[in-house]
Amino acid sequence: MRTLRRDPLWQSAFSGATNPKRSKSRWQKNTKSSRSHRVTTGCRRQREEKTMAAMFYGVNVTDMNIRQINALFRKHDESHLWPICGRFNVTERAIRHLRKIMKCNGETGGFEYAYMLDEEIGFIVNGEN
């Protein structure tokens, strides 16, 4: 039975010498033909776009303007459900409140506005007695 310290591969790993059989990795060998690498990068990019997209109600809102986002949230309004039970329209109240805030702080669009509107709706619904 051999010990690890007498094994030449084990000694070369710690002495800084490289194994001639494993001088290049499989990615380094295929540097001229990087087609497989491009396909992987493309798939990764598509996956990142799906995860980075701001999805509200199944719609990507990153490239939408404020009017389109307001229409989307109005379309999916659920003010008739508990705890509001149709006493007022939560979406309209949140939109009016954000308009007042944006007058003072400047306008935003896309994902930032949709996120602020969603948070404001949540705050109104959960904070209403």
- Residue spans per domain, the chain: 24-53, 55-127
Helix (H, G, I), strand (E, B) or coil at 128: coil
Q: Is 114 in contact with 56 (CB distance < 8 Å)?
A: yes
**pLDDT tens sequence across 41-78:** 555 555 555 556 789 999 999 999 999 999 999 999 99
Q: What is the mean pLDDT of residues 13-33?
A: 54
Residue 24 scores a pLDDT above 60: no
What is the C-alpha to C-alpha distance for residues 99 and 93, in angstroms, rounded to an integer?
A: 10
CA distances to 66, 68, 112 from 12, in Å: 63, 64, 55
